[in-house]
Amino acid sequence: MRKTVLITGACINTGVDIVEKFAAEGYDVVFTGRSADSVAAAENRYREKFSQVAIKGYVLRSLTEDGLANEQGVKDLFDTLDSEGVFVGTLVLNAADQGLNMKIFENPLSDFTNVLNTNVVWNYCLCEQSAQRMKQHGEGSIVFVNSNTAYRAIPDRIAYVTSKGAQLGMMRALTLDLGKYGIRVNAVLPGMIRTDRWEKNPAFYAKVPSRFTPIGDVATGADVADAVYYFAAHARNTTGAELVVDGGNTIQLYPIIPEE
């Protein structure tokens, strides 16, 4: 039977590397994005590069007009996949609202709840729908692309940091509740990743790798994709686990500040 992975938020950045890793390993890929144009463009790029596997993109928004988690959209997507005979054996929860520049005294509550509703509640809906199908098949793997900010806070990102901590709690609870159905649940915790945001960062960030990572470099999307793939494909007896991919960033008591 062919193996299929569903990857959320996979039109740009890390999601692209995760799609490419699974496709290169022979998985069929279902991915999501919020815009029809970017989903279609990404689907064309993937199909051109990986003709040997089936790759299909779907538009899926995380929130309704009212700012609630888009539960119906998730159900509709899984119903569509059922009707197409597609069983998602691996779910990769990559999409995230970064909740940038969130000031506790300035931002409205809705900015906070939007991030939580995307990063926690919408992901819960995706887990629930996919786990229903995995339970019927007696196996499955769910991988959260989490963050080392689940353990170490960063400034002006209160909703994001809260959401990543909550995701880890959800990962552990799902591990307990779903283990008896043969479903494994794990989390990859990247630190900084070389995304397009990284490339656009001010000059200050050029010094970040040597100052803040013992290994002297930040992750590429491919590093994160390798860790996700490990949980999905190789870790038969591993569930409820966290794999940190941050160059040793969070292991330090103090950042290393070399003399100028």
Ligand X SMILES: NC(=O)c1ccc[n+]([C@@H]2O[C@H](COP(=O)([O-])OP(=O)(O)OC[C@H]3O[C@@H](n4cnc5c(N)ncnc54)[C@H](OP(=O)(O)O)[C@@H]3O)[C@@H](O)[C@H]2O)c1
Binding flag, residue 12, ligand X (CB under 6 A): yes
Q: Please choose, out of 28-36, 43-51, 172-180, 205-213, the segment that lies near ligand X by the rule CB under 6 A.
A: 28-36
Select from 64, 78, 80, 185 the least CA-distant residue to 121: 64
Q: Please choose, out of 9-17, 21-29, 46-54, 175-183, the segment that lies near ligand X by the rule CB under 6 A.
A: 9-17
236 phi, psi to nearest 5 deg? -55, -35
Exactly one of 5, 7, 15, 43 binds ligand X (CB under 6 A); that residue is: 15
Which C-beta is closer to ligand X: that of 134 or that of 218?
Answer: 218
Select from 90, 123, 93 the least CA-distant residue to 235: 90
Exactly one of 4, 6, 13, 124 binds ligand X (CB under 6 A); that residue is: 13
Which C-beta is closer to ligand X: that of 14 or that of 162?
Answer: 14
Cα 199 to Cα 187: distance, rounded to the nearest angstrom: 25
Exactly one of 5, 7, 11, 116 binds ligand X (CB under 6 A); that residue is: 11
Binding flag, residue 95, ligand X (CB under 6 A): yes
- Which residue(s) pair with 252 in the sheet? none
Exactly one of 3, 38, 41, 135 binds ligand X (CB under 6 A); that residue is: 38
Exactly one of 6, 19, 92, 145 binds ligand X (CB under 6 A); that residue is: 145
Quick one: how far is CA 214 from the chain centroid?
25
Exactly one of 40, 54, 68, 98 binds ligand X (CB under 6 A); that residue is: 98
Dihedral, 21, 9, 43, 37 alpha carbons, nearest 10: -160
Binding flag, residue 190, ligand X (CB under 6 A): yes
Binding flag, residue 20, ligand X (CB under 6 A): no
Instruction: Answer yes or no: are the C-beta atoms of 126 and 142 closer than 8 Å.
Output: no
Q: Please choose, out of 129-137, 151-159, 169-177, 191-199, the segment that lies near ligand X by the rule CB under 6 A.
A: 191-199
CA distances from 72 to 25, 54, 177, 238 (A): 32, 25, 23, 31
Instruction: Answer yes or no: are the C-beta atoms of 222 and 15 closer than 8 Å.
Output: no
Rounded to the nearest whole angstrom, what is the least distance from the CB of residue 164 to ligand X in the complex? Answer: 7
Total of residues contacting ligand X (CB under 6 A): 23
Exactly one of 94, 130, 175, 239 binds ligand X (CB under 6 A); that residue is: 94
**Contacts with ligand X, residue ranges (CB under 6 A):** 9, 11-15, 33-35, 38, 62, 94-98, 118, 145, 147, 190, 192-193, 195
